[in-house]
Amino acid sequence: EHVEDVKSAIKNLVDSATTEVWISTPNNDEETPSNPFHVREYTAKEMYDLLVPYGKVKIHHWDTFELLNTDTKVSPLIYKITL
């Protein structure tokens, strides 16, 4: 949410990792980001779709670490990408 070119940022993270990548972000479907320092915020589905080309993606609740689906409205979320 803090970078203009999110696809390049994700690719750089994946290229630097050996087995997995963890990313946390708000889950927001509003047009205006909830944080003034965010370039853009993504829904769980949007972020999942950006990450899945790089490996197996699991979505977790930030506080409880419960596994969630792409239709969740919980925020913030943690994404685990297993390469």
Answer yes or no: pTM beyond 0.85: yes
Task: Please give the average pLDDT of every successive group of 10 residues along the chain, which has 83 residues.
Answer: 95 97 93 89 96 98 96 96 97
List the beta strands (DSSP E) in the chain.
20-25, 56-61, 67-68, 77-82
Each residue's pLDDT tens digit, 14-27: 999 999 999 999 99
- φ, ψ dihedrals at 54, nearest 5°: -95, -10
Rounded CA separation 76/22 (Å): 13
Please give the angle made by the CA atoms of 36, 58 and 82, to the nearest 5 degrees. Answer: 105
Q: How is residue 56 written in tokens?
A: 């197996």
